[in-house]
Amino acid sequence: MSDKKKFQLEYEIKSSPRILYSFLSEANGLTQWFADQVTFRDQTYTFTWDGEEQKAKLLGMKENKFIRFRWLDDDPQCYFEMEIVQDELTNDVALSVTDFATEDTIAERKLIWNNQIGYLIGVIGA
């Protein structure tokens, strides 16, 4: 059993779900904000940062709604998910991120997500 805890973050993003989803699910979209290089083959995404590769299996996706991955070297019950949440009344769009980290790395993981989503917002021009 993992000692990792699930945490969630939410970011307001001024974008349509369709445009946002392309940045979450397509290799060339992810390359613009999430990793230096991204390739996709056989349900596996390969993310590269500074020459280091990390592979993630695609666990599930729903167009314009969410995408869920699991790092291949991580615990089976851990995953990270990016979900697009749209307010029915205001049509405001938010990105909800779910991830897992150990107690002593949660703050660092949150900081990384904050930075990455900051890049995403910049790329979208939101």
pLDDT in tens, 70-84: 999 999 999 999 999
Give the pLDDT confidence of 34-68 residue by residue, as tens digits.
Answer: 999 999 999 999 999 999 999 999 999 999 999 99
Q: Enumerate domains of the chain plus CATH numbers.
A: 4-124 (3.30.530.20)
Is residue 16 within 8 Å of residue 93, measured between CB atoms?
yes
- Residue 125: pLDDT band with limits 50, 70, 90: confident
pLDDT of residue 1: 55
Residues in contact with 108: Cβ distance below 8 Å, sequence separation at least 6, in sequence order: 101
- Decide if pLDDT at 12 tops 70: yes
| pLDDT computed for residue 126 by the predictor | 61
User: What is the C-alpha separation between 117 and 126, in angstroms, rounded?
Assistant: 11
pLDDT at 2 over 90: no
Mean pLDDT of the chain: 95
3-state secondary structure at position 74: coil
What is the C-alpha to C-alpha distance for residues 5 and 36, in angstroms, rounded to an integer? 27
Neighbour count for residue 50 (Cβ, 10 Å): 6
